[in-house]
Homo-oligomer: A and B are copies of this chain.
Amino acid sequence: MREYYSITELTKEFDISTRTLRFYEDEGLIQPIRRGRTRLFRPSDRHLVRQILRGKRLGFSINEIREIIQIYREPPGEVGQLKLLIKRINEKKEDLRQKRRDLEESLAELDQAEESCVERLAELGVNT
């Protein structure tokens, strides 16, 4: 496990711009440390970036992603707070389950569409 990554290493790995990484920092999603003015990204920052981009692909907004990320920041020691956290986790899980239902429905419709195309081709005497 590398100790630090430079900003350009991450831009290349994830195919995003430096602007995007600085934007996420401005938004408080990541906090790379500094050596002088230069940003040093730790493995944990790198993993956060991975989570952010995954969230984006799933259509979560920056604010929603921020909420998800906060879940992983140092779980509280106090019982009430822990219970609240579990509640928030379950809300996020429900969000994801809704997305999964949407996804399965969309996939099913595409499957159906593909099938009619294949049938149509068969009628035209084309063997797929």
Contact = CB atoms under 8 A, between A and B. Distances in A.
Interface of A: 51, 54-60, 68, 71-72, 75, 77, 79, 82-83, 85-86, 89-90, 92-93, 96-100, 102-103, 105-107, 109-111, 113-114, 116-118, 120-121, 124, 126
Given A72-B113, A120-B82, A121-B79, A103 B106 contact: no
* Top 4 A-B residue pairs of the complex, sorted by shortest distance between their CB atoms: A59-B59, A54-B102, A89-B114, A86-B117
Contacts of A116: 75
B58 A121 contact: no
Contacts of A113: 71-72, 75, 89
Contacts of A71: 110, 113
- Copies of this chain, complex-wide, total 2
16 contacts: A54-B106, A57-B59, A57-B102, A58-B58, A58-B99, A75-B117, A75-B120, A77-B120, A79-B126, A82-B120, A82-B124, A85-B117, A89-B113, A92-B110, A97-B107, A99-B99
B59 A106 contact: no
